[in-house]
A = this chain, B = another copy of it.
Amino acid sequence: MEIIQLYKCLCDVQRLRILNLLREGPLCVCHLMEILEVDQVKMSKQLQYMKKLGLLEVEKVAQWRVYRIADLGTPLLDQNLSCLQECGPEDLRFAEDLAARKRVMKDNVAGVVAGGCGSC
């Protein structure tokens, strides 16, 4: 994967937010949609975009597709993602997303018993 492609991927706030979330652990599409409040088509396109680049990997778990960050050879991606929370006042969005993640995952576990994706 070319480094330019990586930067093209990081150019988009939506994709950065997705990667920021996946950095904490894998998530299925429906949870990503719920946390980021994005419609299904848009989310799916972004995920395919990153999957084609080799940045993401998918696993089928029951009826869900669970996405996670693939292991590139380089620490470059991780280095960049680790900056997201501290890089400026306008970027508290990324911290908020992590909070939303906890909220959503908790609700799903508490609410619908055994209704969540097994591995996210």
Q: Which residues of A contact B (CB under 8 A)?
A: 1-4, 7-8, 10-13, 16, 74, 76, 79-80, 83-84, 87-88, 90-91
Contact = CB atoms under 8 A, between A and B. Distances in A.
Most buried by B among A1, A3, A8, A84: A3
Contacts of A2: 88, 90
Nearest to A87: B3
Q: What is the count of identical protomers in the complex?
A: 2
A88 to B, nearest CB: 7
A12 B83 CA distance: 21
Contact of A84 (B3, B10, B12, B90): B3
A3 B76 contact: no
Contacts of A10: 7
Given A3-B16, A7-B11, A11-B11, 8 more contacts: A1-B88, A2-B90, A3-B87, A4-B11, A4-B16, A7-B10, A74-B83, A76-B87
A11 B8 contact: yes
A84 B4 CA distance: 11
Contacts of A12: 4
